[in-house]
Structure 1
């Protein structure tokens, strides 16, 4: 049987904030303004604003949970403590299995932006996508400390570039571009919100890194607040500027960030955007891989995934086997996306469906685990996330099927040895139940 160690983590506030930003500020800023505008027109601003408002209770809820249970299991640990094995296994599998889809989508977005300025063809674009994914996995195999330092540099460059895009394009805004404001009505706004969930789903990814902080109780609230403030400023600025400057063209041009940067950098905008695409994709994929690989190891440690994957689950160590499985699954998804010619909107909605399921269940767990104002915040996060998720329609079949697979695996391995109880880090709270002892 395996027990959790008290090995201290390696992440400080600066690198931790960079990793959190990498989970939320991903390649969505390259493609989502266009997809949201296509779905809702200028009213996409309502979807952006609404999801930013939702991000506040969601981020606060995950920070509260991660402070009390700083463990690589992240959402699975929280869900286990509230609802037991079966819910935790389903939640963990949802997040672990969606990473290959999200990583493939992110890499394809970045590769398209990188290839465009050079006039590269389809084969070269796919090669670039594979190189981006390989780089992110290699950084994680080397170790989280290197990944966190690289992330700090990447996020600083990214924020500077996005700020430049917003400030140089803003003077060219026109109120006429805001009409007709909602050409597709409420349905279009809900559709935009559904695809935009991709851009606001990083908080659960970062929760798996909570055990890597040197002092989670002190650092996590600070890191969450910093990341949320930066994300809100960037997303609101980008959404408003894209709509007011590009107008109806925002729905038809697939490269809105390059169009905004053209006001400040002229013909060089596409080359600069290509560099930004590499930064965005590496940052997001790096963080999601880091979180998911540790989740896979923690699930294996607790009996919800094959035992060999548990190696390296302790804070400060690298789960190489879990990383190798994720790399294999990502390669399969990328190949399938190319073979079946899946478009970006489909990949992002598929990713959003599973991440929305993870967020909803983890926040519901918080309603049961937390008290007072924190519980009220978690209830708000659960209710609103679940409501928006319904706009994803049949894409919700993906988490349903993955959840069924997780429960089947757990049922087939119920006779296996059990791990020891994983205790809450706060002595005054009751210990969380062990993952592999059945539902309560």
Structure 2
């Protein structure tokens, strides 16, 4: 069996050029797409949780460590994107460099990442909206806002927002990009309102002790807050809808990553500077911090910004999920019928609908709990493999045209592997167990279906 057959880069380029999707995204659209997915749940929720439970005020260092791991992987992504401007991000890159079997596992884990993360974010959106309505005197029945494990029947708001955004994505990426721009502006305003109000109230005493859980706490915090960064991968999934992907994708990936890292570190510093880290383990730490220092109106404004922020995260995650499904179905890894392009809207509507149903079922009926950590390990494994793949291509195909070349590739690639591997090592044991179970299911699917139906299968082989 030829498990490591690779897909022709020339064929990938031709397929991307003739995909049927409208190419209307520019570099600024991609930067905003990345910010739309990265600045959201992480900055409005994870900063407080990571500080209270893992790193204390040193959560700033946790964000820097995670940001560096993403930066190393992002440089590898950017070079791959300039070589293979095709939907599928790390899945497609691995198919071109390391072979089909490894690529399938990468894609399988990316599907897990996007589906689980989308479900968690949809549930978070529901919680924020229900809480905001409650503060306005409108209390929705628990039966229709909580999952059965939490005492309800179904989380209807989570299902509704997922379906609404999926319909918007079917209508077209340009329309979705316009909504994303508006919501990104609103949430960035909310972040700057927080910094303007809370910044002058920072008390350095709250940063003591700076490392209450030691360096191991910082490392564990970095592994947890990595969840906040996974959105930059979604930029790479937009390749076939870019006007000039070889130039714009590297700008979008690296630009959004730089902006988001700076914002995360600054917000984490201000947050732990105005509120003792021990009090930040709550679902709305940024709004809580403003109430803590007496800015109730500012708190309400930030809560609205948080809802806008979480909406953009869900929008981009659903977008990325559909593009991963699309790329895999086109290659025969999953049934090819689902990769149809809508005749009017020129979007992959069937995979968008399928993904929305899957996310809605999980968000509406299942408790998320620790499973959200699986998104981290799946993404980290994809980043690690992509970093290896870009180095392999430097040896196997050194003459490929590269409009962007990763600087210091023989240093950056190993650093990406080491940093992503280190963060994976620091994830809980239960997460590893679930990860191996998911991979085992994927291996069964590959050998029972995908290998035989692969678009590049050699039907003459024994």
TM-score by length of 2: 0.83
Partner of 2:7: none
Partner of 2:15: 4
Aligned mates of 2:386, 2:62 — CA distance in 1 = 23
Q: Residues 53-64 of structure 1: matches in 2 within 5 Å?
A: 53-64=68-79
Partner of 2:393: 369
How many positions carry a matched residue from both structures? Answer: 419
Partner of 1:157: 186
Q: CA deviation at 1:297?
A: 1.4
Q: CA deviation at 1:69?
A: 0.7
**Contact preservation (8 Å) 2:132, 2:303:** yes
Partner of 1:129: 158
* Residues 118, 270 of structure 1: alpha-carbon distance in 2 compared, 3 angstrom cutoff: farther
**Contact preservation (8 Å) 1:166, 1:260:** no
Partner of 2:29: 15
Aligned mates of 1:351, 1:323 — CA distance in 2 = 19
Q: 1:205 aligns with which of 224, 234, 242?
A: 234
* Residues 226, 417 of structure 1: alpha-carbon distance in 2 compared, 3 angstrom cutoff: closer
Aligned mates of 1:252, 1:352 — CA distance in 2 = 20
- Map Cα deviations across residues 264-318 of structure 1 (whole Å, 9 max, x no partner): 993223432332232112211111211221111111111111121222399x831
Q: CA deviation at 1:408?
A: 2.0
Aligned mates of 2:271, 2:459 — CA distance in 1 = 51
The alignment partner of 2:334 has SS state of coil
Q: CA deviation at 1:417?
A: 5.5
Q: CA deviation at 1:436?
A: 8.0
Partner of 2:96: 81
Q: Residues 337-348 of structure 1: matches in 2 within 5 Å?
A: 337-338=366-367, 342-343=368-369, 346-348=370-372
Q: 1:281 aligns with which of 283, 292, 310?
A: 310
Aligned mates of 1:435, 1:270 — CA distance in 2 = 57
Runs of 4+ in 1 over 6 A off after TM superposition: 435-438
Matched, 1:402 2:438: yes
The alignment partner of 1:413 has SS state of helix
Q: 2:359 aligns with which of 313, 327, 330?
A: 330
**Contact preservation (8 Å) 2:329, 2:336:** yes
Gap runs ≥5 in structure 2? 1-10, 147-154, 396-406
Q: 1:243 aligns with which of 272, 280, 302?
A: 272
- Map Cα deviations across residues 216-239 of structure 1 (whole Å, 9 max, x no partner): 122123223431232122111111
Q: 2:422 aligns with which of 370, 381, 387?
A: 387
Aligned mates of 2:131, 2:288 — CA distance in 1 = 13
* Residues 375, 310 of structure 1: alpha-carbon distance in 2 compared, 3 angstrom cutoff: farther
Aligned mates of 1:124, 1:404 — CA distance in 2 = 34
Gap runs ≥5 in structure 1? 420-433
Aligned mates of 1:351, 1:171 — CA distance in 2 = 36
Aligned mates of 2:15, 2:307 — CA distance in 1 = 36
**Contact preservation (8 Å) 1:56, 1:228:** yes
Aligned mates of 1:271, 1:231 — CA distance in 2 = 23
Q: Residues 36-185 of structure 1: matches in 2 within 5 Å?
A: 36-37=50-51, 38-119=53-134, 120=139, 122=142, 123-124=144-145, 126-185=155-214
Q: 1:412 aligns with which of 422, 425, 448?
A: 448
Matched, 1:297 2:330: no
Aligned mates of 1:180, 1:69 — CA distance in 2 = 47
Matched, 1:350 2:374: yes
Stretch of structure 1 that moved more, 173-182 or 371-380: 371-380
Aligned mates of 2:338, 2:198 — CA distance in 1 = 48
Aligned mates of 1:281, 1:436 — CA distance in 2 = 45
**Contact preservation (8 Å) 2:333, 2:454:** no
- Map Cα deviations across residues 184-229 of structure 1 (whole Å, 9 max, x no partner): 2233222211211101112222211122110012212322343123
* Residues 265, 205 of structure 1: alpha-carbon distance in 2 compared, 3 angstrom cutoff: farther
**Contact preservation (8 Å) 2:41, 2:309:** yes
Q: CA deviation at 1:89?
A: 0.7
* Residues 130, 117 of structure 1: alpha-carbon distance in 2 compared, 3 angstrom cutoff: same
Aligned-residue RMSD, C-alpha: 2.8
* Residues 70, 398 of structure 1: alpha-carbon distance in 2 compared, 3 angstrom cutoff: farther
